[in-house]
Amino acid sequence: MDVLATYHNLLSEYGPQGWWPRRTGDARAGFDPIFEILVGCVLTQNTSWQNVEKTIAALYNRKLLAPKAIAIVRAETLRRIVKPSGYFNQKTRKLKILARAILDEAEGNSTNFIASVSRDALLSLWGVGPETADSMLLYAGGRAEFVIDTYTKRLCAHHGVVCDSYDEYKIFFSAGLPLDAGIFNEYHALIVRWGKEKSRKHKPTEIIGERRDV
């Protein structure tokens, strides 16, 4: 599997996917666009983005897209808002913990937090595993950390590549690409797009990308 060639093939097949960061950048009161990304990373764990959007919109409407607001809002209130995203008990706790970390370690400044936090520090937070940590660092922090998810593993398997661990997949992709956060960002989004396309019924898997294996 040629990692870079596969990227170009996916990009030409699907075009840019327009993930984070978004362009909505005006800093209205109670709205922190970087924090929104961090929240999205948690909420989308094993959950469709469509469901996550309901929660993000509700948080926005209630001016809760900021660490301080999440830290002080009643857990029961937050639980109801998180509900459409599933796992609402766990995710409510995860958001509270994340917000508290940003307050404690960066005075509530999400941009400073994600710019200075180590990957290990993120992983030490309850509810942040390797994929969530890398998503945060890549999409909120603009750092070149490749994100591995189930679709990524499927794409590899599709090309006859199987690794033993998250870290091995990550090394496999990182080693095959320029260390460019923009490429990592778009590539992961394209892989998700590919995975969705592929899993659709009535639409058999198409071979996308190189097959220089065998």
Positions touching DNA (CB under 7 A) are: 19-20, 40-41, 44-51, 54, 83-91, 125-133, 135, 139, 149-151, 164-165, 189, 192, 195-196, 199, 201
Instruction: Judge whether 31 and 67 are in contact, CB under 8 Å.
Output: no
Between 84 and 210, CB nearer to DNA: 84
Between 33 and 40, CB nearer to DNA: 40
Of 141, 61, 155, 142, the residue nearest 109 (C-alpha): 141
Between 164 and 213, CB nearer to DNA: 164
Between 49 and 210, CB nearer to DNA: 49
